[in-house]
Structure 1
């Protein structure tokens, strides 16, 4: 159901570069949505290139060869580096104010801080909602979060 809602939010996109992700742990799985969106868009996934650095994004397509990268995340073995104009952000947890909890490396916060006007979409399961999350000054709040229960727009952007 979460994937259906994510696709409904993004299905009108054509000719865009969309950063999805290959899930680990409790992250909601966007790969079916990525597969469908790849018909009309270029899809990429995050790659950790150095600790303390923003993520880079490597092109992904259905069936592409993968290897295990840092933190046990699958990454493509080939394909060009891309700059996405849409970023689907994985969440371990989220709160009603758009706060997000990841795995603690700060990779998405560093990356999103430099993404300018990219469309940013949090993607989670409703069970990952928390009443509140502590926020540091470097934490990036999400404009909206898609879950199996609906679209949450802390700033009223949905």
Structure 2
């Protein structure tokens, strides 16, 4: 698969993701939750950025449910209204009202007083389209996470742990790394955890 262009690879992996049955997605979600609960970078994390699964993405909802019992606070990405192409994070709980953004992805309202800047989170878990064992990653191509976490290249000590989530079958042999790609600390799948040097 690594001989495909990024665009073709993205299309192929998204198609494989979307071909999973409901039962397969549920099982993957259960295994993902267990792997996340054991992950060393998340053991002490109390403020975690997370996403709601869309387009066949591996679903972290069970981890959210279990994490709340451990007093973990979760935050969803919200398209920044002032700085296009960037994200901020808004608190997420069971009763949070969600409305679709311009991409059709549900997000919480944008109350300025309650939003959290990216650097203030302990960890951020975000969906991947593909990844390799060297830490290369393939997202949807919008660059939102790269722009939002670009500061982590200059001030790595301020950066939250950046962990991609994916189905194990989304691993490919190698991906080209672009100069603007923000490196991950690791990837967690339904099968295992990968950790990378940054």
1:35/1:61 contact within 8 Å kept:
no
Q: C-alpha displacement at 1:78, in angstroms?
A: 6.2
Report the TM-score, using the length of structure 1 for normalisation. 0.86
User: In the TM superposition, what whole-angstrom CA distance separates every residue of 1:94-151 from its partner, at most 9, and x where no partner exists?
Assistant: 1111111111010011112225331111111101111111221001121211111211
> CA separation in 1, counterparts of 2:94 and 2:42?
17
The alignment status of 1:88 with 2:125, answered yes or no, reads yes
Residue aligned with 1:2, SS: helix
Report the TM-score, using the length of structure 2 for normalisation. 0.70
The alignment status of 1:13 with 2:44, answered yes or no, reads yes
**Counterpart pick for 1:98 among 122, 128, 135:** 135
Unaligned runs of 5+ in 1: none
Corresponding residue of 1:41: 72
The alignment status of 1:112 with 2:143, answered yes or no, reads no
Q: C-alpha displacement at 1:23, in angstroms?
A: 1.5
> CA separation in 1, counterparts of 2:32 and 2:73?
22
1:60/1:76 contact within 8 Å kept:
yes
**Counterpart pick for 1:57 among 76, 89, 100:** 89
CA RMSD of aligned residues (A): 2.1
More strand by percentage: 1
2:151/2:159 contact within 8 Å kept:
no
Residue aligned with 2:80, SS: coil
The 4+ residue runs of structure 1 with deviation greater than 4 A are none
1:11/1:37 contact within 8 Å kept:
no
**Counterpart pick for 2:171 among 117, 123, 129:** 129
2:78/2:110 contact within 8 Å kept:
no
> CA separation in 2, counterparts of 1:12 and 1:154?
17
The alignment status of 1:72 with 2:114, answered yes or no, reads no
Unaligned runs of 5+ in 2: 1-30, 153-157
> CA separation in 2, counterparts of 1:18 and 1:26?
22
1:6/1:123 contact within 8 Å kept:
no
More helix by percentage: 2
Aligned residues: 155
